[in-house]
Amino acid sequence: MHWRAVGHAYTDRKMAGKRAALKAIDWLAFAERVPPNQRAMFNNLKTRSDAIGAKLSSLPEKPVTIDWSFYKTNVARAGMVAEFESKFSALTIPEPKDTATAAINTQEAEANKAAVAYVEASKARIGQYEKELEKFQNMIPFDQMTIDDLNDTFPETKLDKEKHPYWPHKPIAEL
Amino acid sequence: LGAGLVQLAHLHTSPNSQAPVPALPEKGGKTRHGIIPEELFQILYPKTGVTGPYVLGAGLLTYILSKEIYIINHETFAAACMGTVIIYGVRKFGPDVAAFADKLNEEKVQKAQEVKDLAMTSLAQAIQDEKKEQWRAEGRQMLFDAKRNNVAMLLETNRRERVHMVTNDVKKRLDYQIALQTLHRRMEQEHMVNWVEKNVVTSITPQQEKASIAKCITDLKVLAKVQQAKTTA
């Protein structure tokens, strides 16, 4: 499966040196956790990540080696090759600066906070649902109920005798 | 009034008041002949046996008729007729009407039951969905890992591009020098060859040309003579 192959390719690419190693991402498990209304965003992320990975793997890691001895013997201009060689070996290429990781980290912190709040609210909701479920489970069966029992169990069935003092104690439209 | 208040305070204090309410009765009390409660027969049975209540009824009837506590008049006949019709009607149509009423009640109860079942299933489903959403939220780590990966990959790509660019440029310049040199050499070569050719051609003066042609002719004559000698010999 194409995705699994790409996943392995990611695990093989470990960076040497100071750069952070790439973490292996299980796209299948990730895809399971995505809610349906965010699927389009997830697909975009995946295509972008795949494109970036493909671009990275298309570039060889080491650059082409320059055969200095050949150039030294063949180039007529005096000192040019030697000058080039010295300058080239002295050259250090500045590494590109990482500006985005900090933003990502702050995003992550915020998302964590939001997620914790959401989980708390979700637990409160679950508690509420469970209480109502318990009420339904402990209810007496309908054919054993009197009207008073019905009004106790479902307060919305209680007829408001102050608002509608005359029978049927509710608007005609609701009969 | 004080004594009454004391009695009032003892209401609903016995443990019996906490006992669960007995179930609602399905049918009304048992009656004999439709009117007289069965309990009367049970109460009188130990003292008077099976016929007791009937004897009591007959005696009461005789008493109220003979003492003219109840007087027979026109109304009596009207009551008898109406009673007959009513009892006939109830006996004939009672069960159907009862079944109809029961069906109405049954529908109400069924509707309520459906509402209850729906509520219970939807609550259970809601609890499941909430748990699923919590599980989904746990996976938020992966999004940020993916983003950081992307950033790292882009940086690495950029670095590689820079390195490649540098080496390729240096190589291009050196290759250019070499190509320039080879071009020069080739042009010099060609030019020299052309120049030598041109000089040789111009150095052949007309006099030399005539002399060389004459020499060629004499050589040819000699060759012809030798050839003739060969063929005749």
**pLDDT score for B96:** 96
Residue A99 in this model has a pLDDT that exceeds 80: yes
Mean pLDDT over B114-122 rounds to: 93
Q: Does A120 touch chain B (CB under 8 A)?
A: no
State the average pLDDT over residues B53-80: 95
3-state secondary structure of B160: helix
- Neighboring chain A residues of B169 at a CB cutoff of 8 Å: none
Establish whether this prediction's ipTM goes over 0.95.
no
pLDDT at residue A146 tops 70: yes
CA-to-CA distance for B104 and A111, rounded, in angstroms?
56
Within 8 A of A105 by CB-CB distance, chain B residues are 144
pLDDT band at A116 (very low <50, low <70, confident <90, very high): very high
Q: List the structure tokens of A41.
A: 């965003």
pLDDT tens per residue across span A62-84: 888 888 888 888 877 778 888 88
- d(C-alpha A86, C-alpha B209), whole Å: 63
* Residues within 8 A of A (CB atoms), B 136-165 only: 136-140, 142-164
Ranking A43-52, A122-131, B169-178 by mean pLDDT, the lowest is: B169-178
Chain-centroid distance, C-alpha B119? 19
Average pLDDT over residues B158-167: 89
User: Which pLDDT band, with edges at 50, 70 and 90, does A92 fall under?
Assistant: confident
C-alpha span between A78 and B181 (Å, rounded): 13
Q: Is B122 on the interface with A (CB under 8 A)?
A: no
Q: Is A75 on the interface with B (CB under 8 A)?
A: yes
- The pLDDT of residue B201 is 83
Higher pLDDT, B11 or A84: A84
Nearest to A142 among B113, B119, B158 (CB): B113
Distance from the Cα of B40 to chain A's closest Cα (Å) equals: 29
User: What is the structure's pLDDT at A19?
Assistant: 57
Q: Is A15 on the interface with B (CB under 8 A)?
A: yes
Nearest-by-Cβ selection for A30 from B23, B124, B142: B142
Yes or no: say if A37 and A49 are a contact pair by the CB < 8 Å rule.
no
Find out whether A46 and B148 touch, Cβ atoms under 8 Å: no
Check residue A15 and give its pLDDT: 42
pLDDT of residue A96: 84
pLDDT in the model for residue A10: 41
pLDDT of A64 reads 82
Interchain pair A64, B164: CB under 8 A? yes
With a pLDDT cut of 90, the percent of chain A lying above it is 26
